[in-house]
């Protein structure tokens, strides 16, 4: 049994909870810093990264989240969550949690393509993962310790560095729970160590 939290400051929280719930996974809706102590892994949902950062500061989450990551506990960021995890954000001086050595570009798709769906090959996850993009970021570059898991055309849209997982799209908005299962497996493996 693993316990996985979903950071519930803003964004698509309930959808992630639904995707994670399983007989061997307990899901915790994380609203208070103390709850980080009871979980083995954390999902950072999509929403609006600037709003989320404001709430992270307001509720004193910044250092505790950095410590959670520094302890090697797995994190999975989707869309805005991926932006929170990026070491660098195009046009900004600093990243937020900066736990993955990658540079992201926010709102990377033009107006006509602000939102769209497609099927993607995601390494280790599946050949035909349904991917919903909503004002999504792109991953412009990754460091050498980062594994690219998926590309949309030439653009990187999912990456992993150790126990940290990020994707530009929203796996929580589909009935396909394979990406979440992949994360649960990372959490299980990290707990066994
Ligand atoms: N554009 C949003 C941001 O920059 C992310 C959008 C999303 O999470 N769907 O935070």
pLDDT tens per residue, range 166-182: 999 999 999 999 999 99
Taking Cα atoms as reference points, which of 151, 154, 163, 162 lies closest to residue 123?
151
Q: Is 106 marked as a binding-site residue?
A: yes
- The residues carrying an active-site annotation are 79, 170, 172
User: CA 42, CA 164: separation in Å to the nearest integer?
Assistant: 10
Domains of the chain: 2-192 (3.40.50.880)
pLDDT tens per residue, range 101-157: 999 999 998 877 899 999 999 999 999 999 999 999 999 999 999 999 999 999 999
Beta bridge partners of 102: 142
ipTM, two decimals: 0.95
Rg (CA), the chain: 15
pLDDT-based confidence at residue 32 (cuts at 50, 70, 90): very high
How many whole angstroms from 108 Cα to the centroid of ligand 1? 10
Atom nearest to 46 CA in ligand 1: 8
CA dihedral 117, 122, 126, 128 (to 10 degrees): 30
Helices (H), the chain: 13-20, 49-58, 62-70, 80-85, 178-192
Which of 83, 86, 109, 131 maximizes ligand 1 atoms within 8 Å of its Cβ, making it the mutation to test the pocket?
Answer: 83
Q: Look at the block and give the residue holding tokens 């915790």.
A: 28
Specify the pairing of strand 164-167 against strand 155-161: antiparallel
What was the pLDDT predicted at 10?
A: 95
The answer, yes or no, to whether any atom of ligand 1 lies below 6 A from the CB of 135, is yes
Q: Is 111 marked as a binding-site residue?
A: no
pTM, entire model: 0.97
The answer, yes or no, to whether any atom of ligand 1 lies below 6 A from the CB of 45, is no
Q: Is 189 marked as a binding-site residue?
A: no
Atom nearest to 51 CA in ligand 1: 10
């Amino acid at each position: 049994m693993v316990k996985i939290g979903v950071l519930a400051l803003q964004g698509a929280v309930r959808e992630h909870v639904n995707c994670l719930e399983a007989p061997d996974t307990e899901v915790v809706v994380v609203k208070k810093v103390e709850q980080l102590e009871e979980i083995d892994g954390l999902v950072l949902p999509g929403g609006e990264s600037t709003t989320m950062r404001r709430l992270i500061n307001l509720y004193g989450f910044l250092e505790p989240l950095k410590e959670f990551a520094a302890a090697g506990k797995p994190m999975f960021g989707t869309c805005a969550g991926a932006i929170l995890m990026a070491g660098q954000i195009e046009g900004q001086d600093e990243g937020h949690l900066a736990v993955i050595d990658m540079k992201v570009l926010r709102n990377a798709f033009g107006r006509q393509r602000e939102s769209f769906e497609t099927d993607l090959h995601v390494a280790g996850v599946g050949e035909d993962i349904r991917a919903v993009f909503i004002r999504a970021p792109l991953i412009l570059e990754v460091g050498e310790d980062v594994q690219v898991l998926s590309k949309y055309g030439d653009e990187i849209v999912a990456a992993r560095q150790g126990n940290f997982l990020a994707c530009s799209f929203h796996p929580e908005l589909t009935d396909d729970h394979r990406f979440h299962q992949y994360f649960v497996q990372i959490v299980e493996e990290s707990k066994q160590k």
